[in-house]
Amino acid sequence: MFKYLGNITDLSHHIIENYVESKGVALDGTLGNGGDCDFLSNHFEKVYAFDIQKSAIEEYKKKEKSNVSLILDSHEHIDKYVKEGIDAAIYNLGFLPGGDKGITTMTNSTLKSVESVLNLLNSGGILIIAVYVGHEEGAKEGEALLKYTKELPKNKYGVMLHKVINRSELSPYMLVIEKK
Ligand SMILES: C[S@@+](CC[C@H](N)C(=O)[O-])C[C@H]1O[C@@H](n2cnc3c(N)ncnc32)[C@H](O)[C@@H]1O
């Protein structure tokens, strides 16, 4: 069993827990089954969580987490709902494992949303994006995100790519973006 390489979700949580100093406001761009949201809710004072699937929102509502605001809308409309700075954000792209593969994150709305999150990110804040390139839209999304994040001004952002290079080219990878 791998420890560091085992699971990008665990790694994303570890990075946020250990490198984001201010644990005020967090955002989950893709609620899904709520694993990332549980983590954020346990470590941050307040969490905004988006999903376009009503079932995901309704299911999470049952947990009655008082510090989580659930938003049934596309994350590209973040600016409509989030009017304060955020300290951390997680995007776990693609479709819900075991769910409808037709309901997946899309390149244009993902890019628009990432741009809004970066503007909202506080100094010292971190955005982590898990990218699944094993399906057609995911491959497009990954390419567009790499192009976009490579061009972010280096005096303002640091961008690190976590990618396993001795596995399939289609293995998921993670982009970690820290705001100075
Ligand atoms: C890979 S899953 C997320 C997994 C989740 N973070 C977890 O811990 O279980 C991707 C989720 O993104 C949602 N999604 C797709 N497009 C979206 C959009 N434009 N805005 C918000 N959520 C979206 C899907 O409905 C799906 O639930």
In the chain, domain spans: 8-179
The answer to whether 171 and 138 are in contact (CB under 8 A) is: no
Give every CB contact of residue 76 below 8 A, 6+ residues apart in sequence.
108, 109, 110, 112, 113, 116
Q: Ligand 1 mean position to 69 CA, how many Å?
A: 15
pLDDT value at residue 151: 98
pLDDT value at residue 141: 97
What confidence tens digit (pLDDT) does each residue in 142-171 have? 999 999 999 999 999 999 999 999 999 999
pLDDT value at residue 24: 98
Q: Ligand 1 mean position to 53 CA, how many Å?
A: 8
Query: Residue 108: in which H helix or E strand, if any?
Result: helix 107-120
Enter the CATH code of domain 8-179. Answer: 3.40.50.150
What confidence tens digit (pLDDT) does each residue in 65-122 have? 999 999 999 999 999 999 999 999 999 999 998 888 999 999 999 999 999 999 999 9
Query: Residue 136: in which H helix or E strand, if any?
Result: helix 136-150
Q: Which two tokens stand for residue 4?
A: 């560091």
Give every CB contact of residue 118 below 8 A, 6+ residues apart in sequence.
127, 152, 157, 177, 179
pLDDT value at residue 147: 98
| Residue 50 dihedral angles phi and psi, to the nearest 5° | -110, 145
The answer to whether 148 and 64 are in contact (CB under 8 A) is: no
User: What is the residue whose two structure tokens read 């988006």?
Assistant: 50
Q: Ligand 1 mean position to 155 CA, how many Å?
A: 31
What confidence tens digit (pLDDT) does each residue in 15-55 have? 999 999 999 999 999 999 999 999 999 999 999 999 999 99
**Does 1 have pLDDT greater than 90?**
no
Report d(CA 98, CA 25) in Å as an integer.
30
| Residues at CB less than 6 angstroms from ligand 1 | 30, 32-36, 50-53, 56, 74-75, 92, 94, 96, 103-105, 109
